[in-house]
Amino acid sequence: MREHPREYHAARVEAAIGSGQAAKSALVASWRRSSRLHRLDPSGARPPLRLTEPELRQKTGRGGPLIRAAQPAMDRLYQAVGAVGCCVLLAGRDGVPIDRRGAPADDATFESWGLWTGSLWSEEHEGTNGIGTCLVEQRGLTIARDQHFFTRNTLLSCTAVPIYDEHATLVGVLDVSSCRADHTDAFASLIALAAGEAARRTEAELFRAAFAKARIMLTPSTEVHGGGLLAIDGDDLVIGATRSARLALGLAPDRALRPVPATDLLCGLEGRQEELGDAQRAVLQRALTRAQGNVSAAAKALGVSRATLHRKLKRFDLKPH
């Protein structure tokens, strides 16, 4: 007698957990958490759990800043993947989707699968899945079909990317999910790239909103980390940095960022030694530019004598134009 598909998947999951593969496989480690930590049964047939409407309204209210920041990126992402049977979900740090994009013709199918606002997609409730496992592992990943813990989710393919706020704290997940069986690995890779770009755009929106009065600077990309953003105040102090920027510059992403001179952060010891001279030179240059090269006017604006300004200009090899 052939084994029932539900029983086959459950047996496969339990066999992988029992084999000790969790030490080598992130997927099996997630299955183990689902089974041993959260006491879930892979063959469980209960429908997805959902919040009540009042609970969902309260959660979306608290998630307003994230929803607003993600809206343009979600719209753009859905334009790229919606026509091929995918929906886009934005979940908070607890794994509950608080916004989504999807084709009306697919809504009934996606809602029945729990790919809807208010559903509970944490590993605690749904076992291994895109949103929940992304939150636990804090990295972009794809959970395709039978990689899911529950048998009832094995028709889904879910690509999820974490979103970090202006303090480099995990604040949510952007997920692209599909029930189609004909998505290739190459197409999944394209979805992952698009979702990652959307997540970074959302992070940038959150960052700019948090540091609206600061000057925003883009850090260079490295082989390991993409470009990030720095917020610099009027005193040239770095007062904010995205997670990507912190990783690229060697700053601990899980610690509060103390204000630091931009030259110290970007130029190291050499920057510290030249900072005072560079700052004075910059002040003189700006004063001359505003005075259109008039030394007397520049000296008056700086509150120094004409002779003093001439000495400083000679020191820094600056010439009025």
In a domain, residue 3? The reply is no
Residue 127: the pLDDT is 97
Give how far Cα 229 sits from Cα of 161, 180, 249, 270, 288, Å: 19, 37, 11, 22, 31
Residue 203: the pLDDT is 97
Residues in Cβ contact with 85 at an 8 Å cutoff, skipping those fewer than 6 apart: 103, 106, 178, 179, 180
Residue 235: the pLDDT is 82
Sheet bearing 97-101, strands edge to edge: 97-101, 86-92, 170-178, 157-164, 141-144
Res 318 pLDDT > 90: no
Do residues 249 and 280 share a domain? no
Structure-token pair, residue 252: 């601990």
Long-range contacts, 6-9 (Cβ 8 Å, 24+):
6/43, 6/45, 6/151, 7/43, 9/42, 9/43, 9/146, 9/151, 9/154
Q: Considering only residues 3 and 40, tell me which one the structure prediction assigns the higher pLDDT.
A: 40
Q: Which amino acid does the sequence have at 101? A: R
3-state secondary structure of 129: coil
Question: What is the average per-residue pLDDT within 218-223?
Answer: 75
In a domain, residue 34? The reply is no
Res 288 pLDDT > 90: no
In a domain, residue 41? The reply is no
Res 1 pLDDT > 80: no
For residue 215, give the nearest of 199, 239, 191 by alpha carbon.
239
Long-range contacts, 138-143 (Cβ 8 Å, 24+):
138/162, 138/170, 140/192, 140/195, 140/196, 140/199, 142/188, 142/191, 142/192, 143/27
Sheet bearing 215-218, strands edge to edge: 215-218, 229-232, 237-241, 260-261
Q: What is the mean pLDDT of the chain?
A: 89
Do residues 68 and 178 share a domain? yes
> CATH no. for residue 96?
3.30.450.40
Least confident of 125-129, 275-279, 296-300: 275-279
In a domain, residue 135? The reply is yes
Residues comprising the chain, all counted: 321
Instruction: Give CA–CA dist 88/72, Å, rounded.
Output: 12
Q: What domain range is 310 assigned to?
A: 274-315
Do residues 202 and 63 share a domain? yes
Do residues 149 and 195 share a domain? yes
Res 182 pLDDT > 80: no
CB-based contact 163:172 (threshold 8 Å): yes
CB-based contact 284:313 (threshold 8 Å): yes
Do residues 89 and 165 share a domain? yes
- Tally Cβ neighbours within 10 Å of residue 319: 8
Do residues 140 and 217 share a domain? no
What are φ and ψ of residue 129, in 5° steps? -160, 165
In a domain, residue 29? The reply is no
Give residue-wise pLDDT tens across range 45-64.
889 999 999 999 999 999 99
DSSP codes joined into one string, 291-302: TTT-HHHHHHHH
CB-based contact 87:115 (threshold 8 Å): yes
* Torsion of Cα atoms, 163 then 166 then 170 then 174, to 10°: -10
Do residues 230 and 179 share a domain? no
Do residues 185 and 233 share a domain? no
> CATH no. for residue 311?
1.10.10
Do residues 196 and 219 share a domain? no
In a domain, residue 266? The reply is no
Give residue-wise pLDDT tens across range 102-113.
999 999 999 999
Residue 132: the pLDDT is 98
Q: How many domains does the chain have?
A: 3
Q: Considering only residues 4 and 187, tell me which one the structure prediction assigns the higher pLDDT.
A: 187
Residue 315: the pLDDT is 83
Instruction: Give CA–CA dist 157/78, Å, rounded.
Output: 16
Q: Considering only residues 247 and 187, tell me which one the structure prediction assigns the higher pLDDT.
A: 247
- Tally Cβ neighbours within 10 Å of residue 86: 30
Question: What is the average per-residue pLDDT within 218-245?
Answer: 84
In a domain, residue 133? The reply is yes
Res 270 pLDDT > 50: no
Query: What global pTM score does this model have?
Result: 0.82
Instruction: Give CA–CA dist 29/39, Å, rounded.
Output: 14
Res 2 pLDDT > 70: no
Q: Among residues of the chain, what percentage have pLDDT more than 70?
A: 93
In a domain, residue 36? The reply is no
- Tally Cβ neighbours within 10 Å of residue 232: 21
Structure-token pair, residue 129: 């899945």
The CA-based angle 117-120-125, given to 5 degrees, is 165
